[in-house]
Amino acid sequence: MPTSQTPYADLNPVFIPGPTNVPDRLRRAMDRQTLDHRAPDFKDVFLPVLADTRHVFGTREGEVILFPATGTAGWEAAITNTLSPGDKVLIARYGMFSHRWIDMCERHGLEVIVLERPWGEGAPADLFAEVLGTDAGHEIKAVLVTHNETATGVVSDIAAVRRAMDSVAHPAMLFVDCVSSLGSMPFHMDEWGVDIAISGSQKGFMLNTGMAVLAVSPKALAAMETAKLPRTFLDFRDMMTANAAGGFPYTPPLQLIFGLRESLDMLFAEGLENVYARHQRLAEGVRRAVDAWGLSLVALSPELESNTVSSIYVPEGFDSNLLVTHAYEAYGVSFGVGLGELNGRAFRIGHLGALTDVVVLSGLATIEMAMADLNYPIELGSGVAAAQQYYRATQGGSLREAA
């Protein structure tokens, strides 16, 4: 009988790039009876959560705003609170999530300047500078960037984008989708000059899906004064007014807020730099396994390789969708399918959140078995051995290179 149909299949971790595995500690924190969110002591939990989340974004100046929604709603909140119909925005399309952001802007009546780039590249800072440099009237109001493109396993250099904008002295705002990077890879909102950073509860924070987590700069808040796109549920001003008094303008996602409190405690106890180092180490083990299999990452160069998700091409003549389906049906383990242009051509291994090298090795062993079952040209155990060698040489959290 397929493992996915056994009574214990829910014990298997998932290896998708989100939602991620939820630690029992966080599940217990969210297992709360109904509480009165208008009680005077709710602010004692809620306001410190907002303040502490700033540290994960790397901001002292930004306001943290939580919506009972997902990252997509966070995108929508970013544009509707700061822009007006007909405003120009600049964005590059280099993966599924940058594509979806473009689609959203177009649906809201914005004029979108799209820079088409190959999937596997990151944000083209140099091209942003060229376009912004010709915008003498400063008609472009915002530059939109996906920090970690979950479809391709590519991380972009946000600091380079900010330098490009500054090199031509352009006043556009910088909006960054950090949904699959925040809490897993370094993010420096103030240092990078990010005006709105958008994330969610279900990835680096290791919680259930259902809360958009944003940080908004003073410059972006000032843009609300002239923004004319409609918003109600996602209105920054309504939310911040209620937050200042320790509450919400409507019913908050209480369980997720309590979960976020516990998640922050876990991240700070480990230390954010240690969290980032752990993700780098886990990702490097996966990359060494991919190399041992003789397969290729979608990311076109090493500096673009994400520490939270690896997107991996399957050999010519193989269907990655069949591989992912077989891994689930035969072994009860989920991996990511190829999205958009990568549909059928690549699969994804998520390696973020509540993971250790031992857990990652179980995922590598599972996908190896699935590939062997489908007659992929790999040697069974080769990827696991390569990752084992790296993890053994770097145990204890050390990032020294394996011999």
pLDDT in the model for residue 4: 52
Domain-located, residue 312: yes
**One domain, residues 240 and 302:** no
Helices (H), 157-271: 158-167, 189-192, 218-223, 236-244, 254-270
pLDDT of residue 340 exceeding 70, the answer is yes
Q: Looking at the 3D structure of the chain, how many domains does it have?
A: 2
Under the banding of pLDDT at 50, 70 and 90, the label for residue 34 is confident
Q: Are residues 204 and 232 in the same domain?
A: yes
Backbone angles phi, psi at 213, to 5 degrees: -125, 115
Q: What pLDDT is attached to residue 353?
A: 96
Domain match, 52 and 131 both: yes
What is the rounded average pLDDT for all residues in the chain? 95
Radius of gyration of the chain measured on its C-alpha atoms: 21
d(CA 18, CA 143): 25
Is the same domain home to 263 and 277?
no
Q: Dihedral sign, CA of 78, 83, 86, 89?
A: negative
Same domain, 311 and 286: yes
Q: What is the pTM of this model?
A: 0.95
Determine the Cα–Cα distance for residues 91 and 145; give it in Å rounded to an integer. 6
90 and 43 belong to one structural domain:
yes
Residue with tokens 């709710």: 42
Note the pLDDT tens digit of each residue in 263-308: 999 999 999 999 999 999 999 999 999 999 999 999 999 999 999 9
CA distance readout (Å), 402 to 219, 357, 367, 391, 392: 45, 15, 24, 8, 8
Q: Which CATH number belongs to the domain containing residue 83 in this structure?
A: 3.40.640.10
- Point out which residues pair with 119 in neighbouring strands: 121
Question: Would residue 402 count as lying in a domain?
Answer: no
Q: C-alpha distances in angstroms, 19 versus 56, 356, 396?
A: 19, 17, 27
Say if strands 154-155 and 148-149 run parallel, antiparallel, or are unpaired: antiparallel
Looking at 228, 243, 268, the residue that finishes a domain is 268
For residue 2, pLDDT beyond 80: no
The shares of helix, strand and coil residues in the chain, as percent rounded to the nearest 5, are 45, 15, 40
Confidence of residue 402 (pLDDT cuts 50, 70, 90): very low
52 lies in a domain? yes
Measured over the CA atoms of residue 100, residue 102, residue 103 and residue 105, the dihedral's sign is positive
Indicate which CATH number applies to the domain containing 392. Answer: 3.90.1150.10
Angle in degrees, CA 309, 314, 315, rounded to 5: 155
63 and 189 fall within a common domain: yes
What's residue 11's pLDDT?
A: 79
List the strands of the sheet with 63-67, edge to edge: 63-67, 212-216, 196-200, 173-177, 140-146, 88-93, 111-116
Going 25 to 30 to 34 to 36, the CA torsion angle's sign is positive
Cα separation of 136 and 122, whole Å? 26
Structural domain ending residue among the three candidates 213, 235, 268: 268
Residue type for position 112: V
Confidence of residue 6 (pLDDT cuts 50, 70, 90): low
286/15 Cα distance (integer angstroms): 12
Q: Residue 277's domain spans which residues?
A: 3-17+271-397
Cα four-point dihedral sign 391, 290, 118, 16: negative
Which pLDDT score is estimated for 35?
87
Torsion sign, CA atoms 248, 251, 255, 256:
negative
pLDDT at position 10 is 72
Two tokens, residue 89: 């925005």
Last residue of a domain, one of 245, 268, 291: 268
Burial 346-375 (b: 16+ CB within 10 A, else e): bbbbbbbbbbebeebbbbbbbbbbbbeeee
Count Cβ atoms within 10 A of the Cβ of residue 338 and give its class: 0-12 exposed, 13-18 middle, 19 or more buried: buried
- Share of residues in the chain with pLDDT > 90 (%): 93
Per the model's pLDDT, the better-predicted residue between 79 and 39 turns out to be 79
Asked if the structure places residue 403 within a domain, the reply is no
Q: Are residues 242 and 380 in the same domain?
A: no
* Mean pLDDT calculated for residue range 223-235: 97
User: How many angstroms separate the CA atoms of 25 and 212, rounded?
Assistant: 21
Tokens 């399309």: give the residue: 93
Q: Do residues 225 and 284 both lie within one domain?
A: no
For the segment 74-94, the average pLDDT, to the nearest whole number, is 98
Structure tokens, 1: 């009988």
What is the rounded average pLDDT of the residues 357-386? 98
Residue 57 tokens, joined:
């974004």
